[in-house]
Amino acid sequence: MAAERMVVIGGDAAGMSAASQARRERGPAELEIVAFERGHFTSYSACGIPYWVGGDVPERAALIARTPEEHRERAIDLRMRTEAVEIDVPGQRVRARDLATGAESWTGFDKLVVATGARPVRPALPGIGARGVHGVQTLDDGQALLDTLDGTEGGRAVVVGAGYIGVEMAEALLKRGYEVTVVHRGEQPMATLDPDMGRLVHTAMDAMGITTVGGAAVTAIRTGADGRVRAVVTEDAEYPADVVVLGIGVEPETTLAGAAGLPLGAYGGLLTDLSMRVRGHGNIWAGGDCVEVLDLVSGAHRHIALGTHANKHGQIIGANAGGGYATFPGVVGTAVSKVCALEIARTGLREKDADRAGLRYVSATVESTNSAGYYPGAAPMTVKMLAERRTGRLLGVQIVGREGSAKRVDIAAVALTAGMTVERMTTLDLGYAPPFSPVWDPVLVAARKAVAAVRAAGM
Amino acid sequence: MAAERMVVIGGDAAGMSAASQARRERGPAELEIVAFERGHFTSYSACGIPYWVGGDVPERAALIARTPEEHRERAIDLRMRTEAVEIDVPGQRVRARDLATGAESWTGFDKLVVATGARPVRPALPGIGARGVHGVQTLDDGQALLDTLDGTEGGRAVVVGAGYIGVEMAEALLKRGYEVTVVHRGEQPMATLDPDMGRLVHTAMDAMGITTVGGAAVTAIRTGADGRVRAVVTEDAEYPADVVVLGIGVEPETTLAGAAGLPLGAYGGLLTDLSMRVRGHGNIWAGGDCVEVLDLVSGAHRHIALGTHANKHGQIIGANAGGGYATFPGVVGTAVSKVCALEIARTGLREKDADRAGLRYVSATVESTNSAGYYPGAAPMTVKMLAERRTGRLLGVQIVGREGSAKRVDIAAVALTAGMTVERMTTLDLGYAPPFSPVWDPVLVAARKAVAAVRAAGM
């Protein structure tokens, strides 16, 4: 019997990264690791689902980084289709249900990792349960959607929501031969951008043949006598649909943690310290989509469901639970995506985030190209930069453009982390050669314009 | 008559950026601007020459950012084919020669900008003057090479030197249908990388059908009775050649500045302060390929001939000469390039640079991919990272890989500028989505491995 037992709730990115890292730190004789996963899969890339649905990724198996068997080979006692239903914090035990048999039992823990992820927002609309209405949060969801698509090849698809999942699913459905309409509530698609940048996405999606309908609140899903979806209904109109994909975001899955009295933040996510320990609980960690993270730019907590954070959290939890020491300082809010050939990126604060944080700012927007203008295939890129008005500190960057645009946001992500001013950014020694950049990288051009805006505002 | 006169020596990136920026700051009534350029062109992209020679850029005119006429329209008195031949520092005047007539005259200045660029290293070898032996430093050079290529379509080309210019010219000549051999002195191509990373470039060039011959010192150019090149001769062998391109680097063109008593550094480049003023001379600025720059990582001065620095220098000189204030803090040594589909990037220190700077370091090399492994077209990328052994401070990064590799070096360029440790880098919030990156960006994976190396070294 091992000296200690660690229980992990949730077998995806954060939970299994934590388990794997803890195992690397400590062998089975020192630490027993038990993990509960209610679904059919472990350690998979939910971010890859749109590309699997769209056909770019041919096989579901490709999205699975590590199978249950592979985890078990590393001496992790992984129990699939087993749902944790209660955390007894003072008793240091977790009650779990075998979903096949319904049998329940308690498992004691010395250390606990809560990695219960997020659940898709699924409004209680009439008809929301119709056949042909799909979320795309899990591999099971993706498989169900693919089963529907295989039955309705080439019809009309309506995507509800125009965030990352919405626009990526629009691309996927377009590739599958569907006529695609994206219905969303915002002024422009990609509400994670300022509306002026979202407008560029809107225009590009139009050109791709994807219809976007903004300012539209869905009121019902119209269903046929056969129980299948017929249309998406808004206050003003009705959009015929053979298939509907819900991409209206996610919220932290913290029902269990909340019931156990663990501390939740304003967005419903678990609150942790920098070592990913749940506040006030020395032997309970949490990470991934079920926690709130510190935004290093605004100083506020946010909920950001993103696989790359979940993996980092898991790695840090595993290091700490294994007896080492590691911290997750926080995020700056970087996200990248694409719709067909259009790349979309953001980091830091939007205008409304800055307003909310009480920061006065200036903004600068420039149009440039991804390579030297004379290089073949040079294509447009628009960069918007926000800087604090008084200090010139970088607050955020948004980029919309063709190939080579999105990952340029990393320049700003590092600069935000370092607390750089836009003035300092103007002389950054960024890679230059004609195939990769104009002689002034678009980010540098934006920084120069932001410096001018800061100076003008100071006069 | 204007209140003051600024004289600019050299009409390319640094000189004309300085002139343009000064003009933006001050109108013709306040500041007269006279610029001397000995060649036929102004403000062109020398970095673009390989792509013009290779046929990617169809027209020479595309490489010219601004013509002499365009400069003159902005009230810059630009004198083409006019070579500055003497700087009289105490007398505040420049003697210049009209290359068409041979006539010389003095022009007084209140402010002087030295932007004389660099000259290609051209060793005094027997036969170096043969027809068919070309440098590729200027547009005139590029045109001469193209004239030769048009006469020898599809023969054998030898490139001497395997730095940026060498490998880019190898690609260009391959595209033009030549059988290409690159002869160079180093252990591996791309001596701006450590040899282990250069080996990857070597292997990739082999696969492209470009022969590279390392450790080879050229002793002569064999010439036919017709005065045309026949072969490149080394100590050990002879490489038949219908055309030879010299890509063995450049050195600062500071003959004029040196003769005038302006201060030169160890590499022969002008020494300036952060405002790009020549040391000890309040009214003389210098920038571009003729100056030495401060390396922010090692603290030493270096000579780096790169258009992006020249443009920044020019902009800063113009701002200062125009009465404003701007500084160029220094470089971190970022450079990117490609040979066909292989991308090559570096920033900061190599192992031998760290040795020279007296820094003890650890290194970590990882192989990853440019996108999620399951995403179509995922291709290999190798990242090498150096960190200071005692502190964990990032010292340098080198990247060799396929599409999307090179510009990732910007992450490290910003981190170096900020003085980040590799530990801090492991949790950088970099853009993640399957088309753009594995869930752990290759740079983060390298940082993790570097942290482990720092810890192991400390034990």
Active-site hit among B2, B47, B85, B414 = B47
Catalytic residues of A: 47
Whether A430 sits inside 8 A of B329 (CB atoms) is no
- State which amino acid sits at residue A245: V
Q: What is the pLDDT of residue B123?
A: 87
What letter does residue A146 receive in the DSSP assignment?
H
Spatial separation of the C-alpha atoms in residues A75 and A350, rounded to whole Å:
45
Rounded CA separation B136/B410 (Å)? 27
How many Cβ atoms are within 10 Å of B68's Cβ, its own excluded? 20
Q: Return mean pLDDT, chain B.
A: 96
pLDDT, one tens digit per residue, over A302-339 is 999 999 999 999 999 999 999 999 999 999 999 999 99
Q: What residues of A are in contact with residue B338 (Cβ under 8 Å)?
A: 433, 435-436
Cβ contact B334–A437 (<8 Å): no
Closest CA to B138 of B85, B192, B64, B66: B64
Tell whether B64 lies on the interface with A, counting CB pairs under 8 A: no
Rounded Cα–Cα distance for residues B193 and B336 (Å): 11
Residue B385 pLDDT more than 90? yes
pLDDT, tens digit, 9 for 90 and up, residues A392-443:
999 999 999 999 999 999 999 999 999 999 999 999 999 999 999 999 999 9
Partners of residue A166 in chain B, C-beta under 8 Å: none
Q: Encoding tokens for residue A135?
A: 């979320």
Gap between the Cα atoms of B136 and B120, Å rounded? 8
pLDDT in tens, A339-380: 999 999 999 999 999 999 999 999 999 999 999 999 999 999
Q: Would you say residue B373 has pLDDT above 80? A: yes
ipTM of this predicted complex? 0.96
Nearest chain A residue to B411 by CA distance is A411
Structure tokens at B146: 């193209």
What proportion of chain B, given as a percentage, has pLDDT over 70?
99
Q: How far apart are CA B454 and CA B440, in angstroms?
A: 20
Q: How many CA atoms lie within 13 A of A257 on its CB side?
A: 31
Cα–Cα distance measured from residue A290 to residue B172, given in angstroms and rounded to the nearest whole number: 53
Q: pLDDT (tens digit, 9 = 90+) per residue, A198-238?
A: 999 999 999 999 999 999 999 999 999 999 999 999 999 99
Q: Any CB–CB contact under 8 A between A45 and chain B? A: yes
> Is B290 known to be catalytic?
no
Contact B415 A415 (CB under 8 A): no
Average per-residue pLDDT in chain A? 96
| Cβ within 8 Å of A, B 293-312 | 306-309, 311-312
Strand pairing class (B284-286; B250-252): unpaired
Residues 6+ apart with CB under 8 A from A64: A41, A42, A43, A44, A45, A139
- C-alpha distances (whole Å) from A428 to each of A390, A444, B22, B347 are 21, 8, 22, 12
- Is the distance from CB of B383 to CB of B368 less than 8 angstroms? yes
d(CA B95, CA B314): 22
A164, A430, A440: residue with CB nearest B410: A430
| Residues in chain A closer than 8 A to B314 (CB atoms) | none
Q: What domains are defined for chain B?
A: 4-118+251-321 (3.50.50.60), 122-248 (3.50.50.60), 342-458 (3.30.390.30)
Of B45, B57, B426, the CB nearest to A439: B45
- Output the pLDDT for position A153: 67
The stretch A249-262 carries a mean pLDDT of 96
Q: Which residue from B62, B341, B70, B139 is spatially nearest to A373, judged by alpha carbons? A: B62
Q: How confident is the model at residue B1 (pLDDT cuts 50, 70, 90)?
A: low
Q: Cα separation of B45 and A439, whole Å?
A: 9
Q: Contacts of residue A429 in chain B, CB cutoff 8 Å?
A: 309, 331-334, 347, 413, 417
Q: Up-side HSE of residue A24: CA atoms within 13 Å toward CB? A: 13
Q: A323-346: b or e for each residue (b if 16 or more CB lie within 10 Å)?
A: eeebebebbbbbbbbbbbebbbbb
Q: Do the beta carbons of residue A20 and residue A322 sit within 8 Å?
A: no
Q: Does B125 touch chain A (CB under 8 A)?
A: no
Q: How far apart are the first and last CA of chain B?
A: 72
Q: Say if residue A59's pLDDT is above 80.
A: yes
Question: What are the DSSP E strand ranges found in B63-155?
Answer: 77-80, 82-88, 93-98, 104-108, 111-114, 118-120, 133-134
On the question of pLDDT at B344 being above 90, the answer is yes
Q: Which residue of B has its CA nearest to A339?
A: B435
Among chain A residues, the shortest Cα distance to B335 is held by A431
Count the Cβ atoms, other than its own, within 10 Å of residue B435: 23
Interface membership of A264 toward B (CB under 8 Å): no
Minimal CA separation from A436 to chain B, in Å: 7
Which residues does chain A have within 8 Å of residue B62's beta carbon, measured at their own beta carbons?
A: 374
Chain A neighbors of B427, CB-CB under 8 A: 312, 316, 327-329
Distances (CA, A) of A166 to A345, A449, B105: 15, 32, 69
Looking at chain B, the whole-number percentage of residues with pLDDT higher than 90 is: 95
Rounded Cα distance between B169 and B180, Å, is 10
Rounded Cα distance, B166 and B180, in Å: 11
Query: Sorting pLDDT into bands at 50, 70 and 90, what band is B78?
Result: very high
Chain A residues 205-224 within an 8 A CB cutoff of chain B: none
- Cα(A210)–Cα(B19) distance, integer angstroms: 48
Percentage of residues in chain A having pLDDT higher than 90: 95
In this structure, are strands A394-401 and A342-348 parallel, antiparallel, or unpaired?
antiparallel
Closest C-alpha among A357, A367, A366 to residue A333: A357
Q: Are B56 and B142 in contact (CB under 8 A)?
A: no
User: What are the helix (H) ranges across A152-286?
Assistant: 164-175, 195-208, 255-259
**H or E stretch at A338:** strand A335-339
In this structure, which amino acid lies at residue B304?
I
**Which of B342, B346, B429 should one mutate to test binding to chain A, selecting the residue with the greatest count of A CBs within 10 A?**
B429
CA distances B15 to A425, B40, B310, Å, are 22, 15, 8
A335: Cα within 13 Å, side-chain hemisphere: 18
- CB of B414 closer than 8 Å to CB of B392: no
pLDDT at B283 over 80: yes
What tokens were used for B203? 């292997």
CB atoms within 10 A of CB A309: 24
Q: Which residues of A touch B407 (CB under 8 A)?
A: 404, 407-408, 431, 436-437
**A340 inside 8 A of chain B by CB:** no
pLDDT of residue B459: 60
The reply to whether residue B338 touches residue A372, judged by beta carbons under 8 angstroms, is no
Q: Which of B331, B429, B435 sits opposite A429 (nearest CB)?
A: B331
